Structure 1
């Protein structure tokens, strides 16, 4: 079983994000009894979490390794010992002596370093750090599609602010992180303390800290860290979907901060009403402050963004180049930034000025005028890019390449069409929550720049250029 379990773990490492694998799968130990794989978790909390959320993934990974369906069980404690086979004892007067001489059953050794052993080591949360903010309000370009979000974020940084909780939602690359960091930077600069109490992290990082606190029995310290702040900036809260224990902790944290007058900024790729498997009390807290959505910038705002990006790089663009780029590039802000950087790099390498002709050459590498007319066109392009058929994508298979391809379609459909999450899911007979989870998975890998994330980014670039 040792070899098979290592293969299953390798399979799961490809299926799961690194944080999930490290926290929940790596501590497990495994034994095999017929067609049953028995997993031992270090404690009941881990056993319940794995049983509720990962059992299907583990069973599929096991089926890939064994070539047949395997039953998987998860319990807390050490894996059960196996009794070695011995010849049956013959009835005899010295039967008790023979039983006394029989070898004792040996407990099966864990195949992965168990969390029980890891728990003997101190697990500490990183100390609060001084943040180095990349973005501020001075470089945020305001337009009709983001003016309410900007105004609300600005208001949070003023004394006696009307807004103490802000929920920002938008598609990727439209300015959520920029505004979030701008709030943190402004409040830190306005504080009369050298190191104001600010916590800035993603919901996934918050969850990892909480799990570490549970394992090291330092939950009180964890609560003291996150509930004793002046400002909490928590990104990607859609990660909390389906994670009941984490939702309870986030709810308690937000409630505590609101009661003491602290400020909270939350971001998500989805509005609160679009979230699924999130406790109603937590959604209510999300909605208790100001809700602000950010849409794609209009042409006028795109022109000013291009000018601002060029200015930051000390390479102003001519009006004709700016007009060309703003008219042809209608995607997110990252697309505009990428185009400017490519123009500047090409001009530097060639030792010439940026011209309209050069801009046209660069534009040939980008998706123009939202060429994806509908989700069917997106499906065709993804099938071509991944070498799959529409029938394979529509199947119930959970093989990694199919899952990544489906998630890529969900991501592109969300980005390039006006379809709802449910409409996108209907194309594959998937639930709204499955689509949301898939989009969040793509965003997470892109943000981490993991090997899978870089592969997805390359595929996205190829598809969008196509």
Structure 2
């Protein structure tokens, strides 16, 4: 009997093939009565498992991770094409990606000068570029000071020093490795210098201002890691502005760190070459100028017109540069303005970083005088320093010479340095340079911008003409000392409020625009030419 009932239940229960098709919604229908049949529970569980199983789309492989360094290199390449300025080139070569996470870049720069430049002027452009490259709605970027670590120095057996150098017991500094270059190691633990260095010319005694900030930052970077970036470094500017000071500062720092350094003038390079040719000692000449870690040549403009010297310098440069050695030049003008210079040398001079040093502004001149007073232990009131800085605007040497003359006069006459004594001494010096006429000021501003006087006095309002006109307003106000209505008359009868706006705008923009400040500085110098 029991067997018959069990068989009846099995016959009455539908087989799986005969059961009505159920969906996930049927299984999850909370209004329906809960089935206690084990078979139905199994069906519902199976449907639920199928629904929760990952779809093919969900099982796709994750997107490849972002390579922040490749993205950064693409950004730098686009910037180099769009904004080929010396200052941008310096910043580009100094930057490095430290970290990246979910659209946030952390970029390292070698010092605070580069950081300020990037933060104030480039950050919005960088964010837009990165967002476009990565196709993201937003990108964030943080700049940090991250100095380049100094290369590891290794020791190896000593070898004899080249001609004209210290005794052979001293050894030469090791040569650093540059990407793509495998220089031959030259051993030492003690630094050497060839040529006379001025120990007073150091980074600590160099006064940094807007007129020399880029050159100073590049020099410091080279002193940390020569041959790695900014190779060659080409610094140009007028006399007495600090080019030789920077060369000596680099050389002194590298000698302290154990590098073999050769510092000399271009005239000395030429004289050594002539002597080597005459005495048939070219091997000794090449040993002197090539078996070193850093070559610093001052006043490279004197190489113009000397074909043999240019030829030898060309091969010397190639030898040093290929070995990852640092080369630094100074001149009174950029490479493109050196007449009679071979094109192959010009291209090599411009292949690294080219930067200029211009005349310091008033605040920097006062700071230079303060530094000199402190280092020499002099006593000079601040108003005396301001008077000297106001009277001497050309270069640092004349500035320091004026201070020395005031101090010497006070010492020889047994008087304290005060404003009246400084006025007396400054008055006895060469008369102050006389500024040109207002008409000549307008002419020189127009000529500098490739325009005519009619462009500045006319009614054209294009951006370049308006900018040049405002610069003329500023110079007529600050250098010629004209009133606002008088400036308006010289520039086509413009209203004094327009002139006031132009003067104030140039004055404000110069605080943040390095290029504008240099333009105004150069134009200011031309106003005092005969």
- 1:212 pairs with one of 270, 275, 298: 275
Deviation at 1:368, TM superposition (A): 6.3
Root mean square deviation of aligned Cα: 2.4
Q: Which residue of structure 2 aligns with residue 360 of structure 1? A: 423
| Cα distance in 2, alignment partners of residues 350 and 303 from structure 1 | 25
State how far apart, in whole Å, the 1-side matches of 2:163 and 2:224 are. Answer: 31
Q: Who is 1:162 aligned against?
A: 229
Superposition pairs for residues 44-443 of structure 1, below 5 Å?
Answer: 126-127=164-165, 129=194, 131-133=196-198, 134-159=200-225, 161-191=228-258, 196-366=259-429, 370-371=433-434, 373=436
Q: What CA distance in whole angstroms lies between the structure 2 residues aligned with 1:365 and 1:256?
A: 53
Q: Deviations over 1:171-211 (max 9, x none)?
A: 111111001111101111122xxxx4211111111011111
TM-score by length of 2: 0.45
Whole-Å separation in 1 of the counterparts to 2:374 and 2:427: 24
- The alpha-carbon distance between structure 1 residues 228 and 367, as it changes in their structure 2 partners (threshold 3 A), is same
TM-score, length-scaled by structure 1: 0.51
Equivalent residue, structure 2, for 1:10: none
Q: Does the Cα contact within 8 Å between 2:233 and 2:329 map onto a contact in 1?
A: yes
SS in 2 for 1:364: helix
Pair 1:205–1:372, CA change in 2 (3 A): farther
Question: What is the CA-CA distance between 1:317 and the residue it aligns to?
Answer: 1.9
The answer to whether the 8 Å contact 2:379/2:417 transfers is: no
- Residues of 1 paired with 2:349 and 2:320: CA distance? 13
Structure 2 distance, partners of 1:295, 1:276, is: 21
1:388-440 per-position Cα deviation (integer Å, ceiling 9, x unaligned): xxxxxxxxxxxxxxxxxxxxxxxxxxxx9xxxxxxxxxxxxxxxxxxxxxxxx
Find the aligned partners of 2:197 and 2:245 in 1 and give their Cα distance.
13
Deviation track 1:207-264 (CA, whole Å, cap 9, x = no partner) reads 1111111111111121111011111110111111111111011011111111111111
Offset, 1:162? 2.4
Query: The residue matched to 1:292 in structure 2 has which SS?
Result: strand
> 1:222 and 1:313 mapped to 2: Cα distance?
40
Residue correspondences, number: 251
Counterparts of 1:326 and 1:141 in 2: how far apart (Å)?
14
Give, in whole Å, the separation in 1 of the partners of 2:327 and 2:390.
Answer: 37
Is contact 2:231-2:351 (8 Å) kept?
no
In 1, Cα distance between the equivalents of 2:340 and 2:353? Answer: 22
Q: Secondary structure at the match of 2:204?
A: helix
Look up the SS of the partner of 1:324 in the other structure.
helix
In 2, Cα distance between equivalents of 1:279 and 1:130: 27
- Residue in structure 1 matched with residue 467 of structure 2 by the alignment: none
- Secondary structure of 2:224's aligned partner: coil
Unpaired stretches in structure 2, ≥5 consecutive residues? 1-161, 167-193, 441-478, 480-527
Structure 1 residue runs without a partner (length 5+): 1-123, 378-415, 417-463
Partners in 1 of 2:392 and 2:363 — Cα distance? Answer: 12
Whole-Å separation in 2 of the counterparts to 1:205 and 1:353:
44
- Pick the structure with greater CA Rg: 2
- The alignment partner of 2:269 has SS state of helix
Question: Conserved in 2, the CA contact under 8 Å of 1:125 and 1:212?
Answer: no
Please say if residues 211 and 360 of structure 2, whose CA atoms lie closer than 8 Å, have aligned partners that are also in contact. Answer: yes
1:167 counterpart SS class: strand
Check whether the contact 1:233–1:265 (CA below 8 A) recurs between aligned residues: yes
**Matches of 1:303 and 1:172, distance apart in 2:** 19
State how far apart, in whole Å, the 1-side matches of 2:390 and 2:246 are: 25
Following superposition, the deviation at residue 316 of structure 1 comes to 3.4
